[in-house]
Structure 1
Amino acid sequence: MVQAINNRHGGLVISLDFELNWGVHDTNSYGQYHQNIYGVRQALPRILALFEKYKIHATWATVGLLFAESKAEMAHYLRCIPVKYEKMQYAAYSQLVKVGENEQTDLLHFGQSLIKKIKQTPYQEIGSHTFSHFYCLENGQTESDFCADLHATKMITEGYVPPMKSLVFPRNQVNTQYFKACQEAGFVCYRGNERHSLYAPQPFTKKSRLLGVMKWLDSYVNLTGQHLLMLEEIQQEPFMNIRASAFLRPYCRPLHFFEGFKIKRIKESMETAAKTNTFYHLWWHPHNFGKHIERNLAMLEELLHHYQHLHKRYGFQSYTMYEVATLCQRLHQQQK
């Protein structure tokens, strides 16, 4: 449900890319990241508890495969998505041989029980992270493949959650040529990348180690700005870009003594947004919190406590992605 929105104040937007092993199977050796994935079962309910405690509105961009009840159901839908990446290890279908029969036997690839917890928590929006963690900039895929993926999401979620309005492109591979297809599928908004060349959408083949290092550094030291979001820029496009401000990096033990810089950078940006009536969009994956769970949750609570302070002092609000889009639509109507 969209909250009653006060358009005089800016706000904190939170989105989470909920994908379990479907989001990392092609970047890690099998088993290498399992601790983080299994840890989602502990971390996700506690994230939701913090959101409820601080009245946080958040968008959970969910891979459609997590809605499946069985391996057979997954296979049924994946057969309808004929994507042929040049590197077929990117394809979700290639992972079916490693999938168990259901959530009771496979906690890495099924997520209905976790989706149910999200549904039961106030102020949460369930959006899409595509059905198969679809890569929109990799060689071999086509727009018709992407449309088939969107259709699979609609079919598997129908009647279980309200029609999805917010979309997050996997690996942040935003493809502007696919916007019309997204709108035709009922999506109203998406999460774009930070407005800086460091964060420009790229396929895997163009990523470099130096780029990764620079992004890490930017999380601790302000290299690229605060990436605050104004309603005026969102209104300019029919498929609304609820642009990211920052990725919430999880606790890193080797960088323990620098964690304070990361938190300080986020807090300062949130405060600037509160003072200037703009929006700050923070995002991460639940599996980022699957390791060092206590430290990551403590970090999150510190940030949410700061949000609470800004809410009381400046009227800073909490929004899902779709709520920001709805605010833009209302303001546009008022301006006519």
Structure 2
Amino acid sequence: MSAAALREILPRIAFLRPLVEGARVLEIGGLARTGGRSAEWFAQVGARSVVSVDADPARVAAARASIASARIRIVEGRPADFPPASFDLVWVHDLESPHSFGELAERSTGHVVLSVDADQLGGEAGYRALVDDLARVFASVEVATQRPLVASVLSFGDRAGPLLADPSFEPPPAAQAYLFICGGRSCQVAGQVVVPLPVEAEADPEIAEALAESERERARLEEKLREARLTIESLRAELARNEGIADWDAEARRVEALERRLRELREREELALRRAQEAEARVRELERRAESWQSSRAELLAALRFERFRAERARRDAEGVFDAVAERDRLLEEWKSRALRAERRLDDLEGSGPKRET
């Protein structure tokens, strides 16, 4: 499980603890995001039972091998495999695969929670489309936002009080994710929740390698600089010991040679510093390129997921149109058959009329 999954999913479960406590929870997409750790978090905050469902046999087998809890079941299948009203809370972790909101609503006697990263929605248009789709199925649709926070907590240990946030120095960051809490009634969860998380570093491998190489280069240059300074100090000490030398011409030549050596050492020191600066510049460029690549990739993935979502909706609408056309054709055939029978009967009646007159 990645550190990003810990930072993103655990706070969402903690925020909606009142819905989780004592509930029968159906989790969808948890194995793909956390390998089953999210099911353990549901149980940890008080869920009565947790069923984590996934269609991938490999993910299911891996989760079963790593999780041992009487309150957690790892099931291979789909949400539609469970009977209606089997759970009190249905939790969907992402929009990777399309889900029928009607099917999800049927499985829950309480609420359906859809936790979606902001980059999955495809901007404001995708956000509004999802809210409209949910509103067609659920009487209540509430939206909570999740924002990352880097902060320091200061307090007097013996004087507990409310937790206050000072936004004077930094504006609030943009929403990182949205929680859509859907059901027949309000979830009754209010306020703001700050969830402390362990500090975990997760860097791009290319940037991490570049930083490591820069650190090794810096250590090598510092060692060379230390050696150069020791050499200079040794030369200065030797000059101080030889102040009474009689052959001043030879001493002058020796001093000149020492000065050349000193200049060479200073040039090497300057070269080492320039190389260190160049290494730092390369690292900054790699960081900038990595941020640009991550941003472009996130935008492309968000657009792709949204188009998949729209394609699935269009397919379902098309299936409804095809059913209506088929029903129309059936009715037309039935009316044609009735019309033919009526024409035959009319012909029979017209043929029998003259015989009665004669």
Q: TM exceeds 0.5?
A: no
> Quick check: which one's helix share is greater?
2
Please give the range of the TM-score, normalised by the shorter of the 2 chains.
under 0.3
For normalisation by structure 1, the TM-score amounts to 0.25
State TM-score, norm by structure 2.
Answer: 0.24
Q: Which has the larger radius of gyration?
A: 2
